[in-house]
Structure 1
Amino acid sequence: MEERGVEEQGVEERPPRRRQARGERRMEEILTAAAEVFAKSGYEAATTNAIASAAGVSPGSLYQFFKNKEAIAQALADRFVTQMRTAHQEAFDGIDFAGVGLDDLLDRMVDPIVAFNIANPGFKALFARPDMPPGLAEAAQPIQAALLGRVERMLAVRAPGIPADDRVRMARVLIQIFQAMVPLVTSAEGDERAAAIAELKKVLRGYLAPVVG
């Protein structure tokens, strides 16, 4: 009797779990559509009706998950920051900076962050827009500051004789180079994208090799 009760309980729990999974997928679809709408139209001009249309849901369905446009933007900021933090951790944490060659080091650092940017073109365009609310635009700043610190630590290990001020400057230059070339990578496809990534690494290597190579 007890075993049958457990089975019956399990059967009863399956539909709620399926509904929860469907709800989570629908939220992700709405957020992805919102990123595209915000990036294309701007935050101020975007409407929840436009977001619902892009997501393929009714406005009423959208309001079941988000009460207004501000809530959607905040959820987007949270998702963007979480994914960006994960990409930076994968790129830098656990790497023996002193024990790998420069080409391998660049592969380890560049590939996860490039993959993040390719997967999130709408987010990048969204957070670069001047009409985003300051609170949301500032959400990514701590993660960007942490990235700067990670690049500085890499430089400190690879070239310990570099003065601290020079390390900070070099780290900022490396990040600016990367960010400047990201649109070239994300706008390309197939072999051209692979070639653009190779060019990105070539530029970074050219800057780093005389100092840390």
Structure 2
Amino acid sequence: MTESQVDRPANPRRRQARGERRIQQLLEAAASVFCRIGYTSASTNAIAREAGVSPGTLYQFFPNKEAIAVELGDRLTRQMRDAHGVAFTDENAALPLGEMLDVVLDPLIEFNRANPVLLTLIRSSDTPGAVTEEHAALHAALQARVEELIGTYAPELPAERRTRVANMAFALFKAGLELILSHEGEEQAAYITEMKACLYGYLAPAIGTEAASARH
């Protein structure tokens, strides 16, 4: 091995990739710990143990538990925005109500099933403000998308009624999601079906079963 080969620094891209893998490992460990014992009771030592690394390794990437929660919340929020993008499309808004509920709700339910830590963080009284503020903004954006979707089906609805219907539908979704996430297997699937039936039963009389663009 030549002297130049010895002195050559490691490939920056390779170092960056290793660092990103370690960060992801720590975030996954944190999500597991937060879900198991709650954000308040969690510690950096517990997260390091879950990740199978030393506390010193953790501190190379995050100075404290709060920084881990902020990074985790930021990544989950971006993923949830992506789920919204899949759900709320012009194509989906033109479907009959029952089909629309399937294609809109399924990605949102799947995201929450795959990432229960987000609700854990939001429910904690001492979660960093950056996480709760970002989630509140996402929550408001989702409500606005629901209201736009309702307007596609019932453009004749007065604005204030459209807002009320959107808020009620969103509240029903959140309540149903709580039940879905508290069950597993066949029971979870059954609650998904029940939530969709509940939303269909509420929305059909209010906005109809066909998008305005599909009516003749």
The TM-score, its normalising length taken from structure 1, stands at 0.85
Match of 2:91 among 91, 95, 119: 95
Give 1:45 shift. Answer: 3.2
Q: Does 1:151 align with 2:171?
A: no
Give 1:80 shift. Answer: 1.7
8 Å Cα contact 2:69-2:127 kept in structure 1: no
Match of 1:176 among 146, 165, 171: 171
Distance in 1, matches of 2:73 and 2:14, equals 27
Partner of 1:207: 202
Give 1:206 shift. Answer: 0.7
8 Å Cα contact 2:87-2:108 kept in structure 1: yes
One-letter amino acid matched to 1:168: T
8 Å Cα contact 1:148-1:171 kept in structure 2: yes
Distance in 1, matches of 2:103 and 2:17, equals 33
Give 1:109 shift. Answer: 0.8
- What is the SS of the residue equivalent to 2:191? helix
1:110-189 paired onto structure 2 within 5 Å: 110-189=105-184
Partner of 2:28: 32
Give 1:60 shift. Answer: 1.4
Match of 1:193 among 168, 171, 188: 188
One-letter amino acid matched to 2:73: A
- What is the SS of the residue equivalent to 1:132? coil
When residues 206 and 45 of structure 1 are mapped into structure 2, their CA distance, relative to the original with a 3 A threshold, is same
Q: Which moved more, 1:143-152 or 1:124-133?
A: 124-133
Partner of 2:213: none
When residues 72 and 163 of structure 1 are mapped into structure 2, their CA distance, relative to the original with a 3 A threshold, is same
One-letter amino acid matched to 2:21: R
- What is the SS of the residue equivalent to 1:66? coil
8 Å Cα contact 1:35-1:126 kept in structure 2: no
Partner of 1:8: none
- What is the SS of the residue equivalent to 1:126? helix
Distance in 1, matches of 2:130 and 2:171, equals 23
Give 1:81 shift. Answer: 1.1
Give 1:102 shift. Answer: 1.0
Distance in 2, matches of 1:190 and 1:43, equals 26
Distance in 2, matches of 1:116 and 1:30, equals 20
Distance in 1, matches of 2:142 and 2:151, equals 14
Runs of 4+ residues deviating >4 angstroms: 12-19
8 Å Cα contact 1:185-1:196 kept in structure 2: yes
Give 1:29 shift. Answer: 2.1
Q: Which moved more, 1:26-35 or 1:158-167?
A: 26-35
Cα-Cα RMSD = 2.2
Give 1:13 shift. Answer: 10
Partner of 2:75: 79
Q: Which moved more, 1:67-76 or 1:127-136?
A: 127-136
Structure 1: stretches of 5+ with no match in the other structure: 1-11
Distance in 2, matches of 1:118 and 1:166, equals 31
* Number of equivalent positions: 201
The TM-score, its normalising length taken from structure 2, stands at 0.84
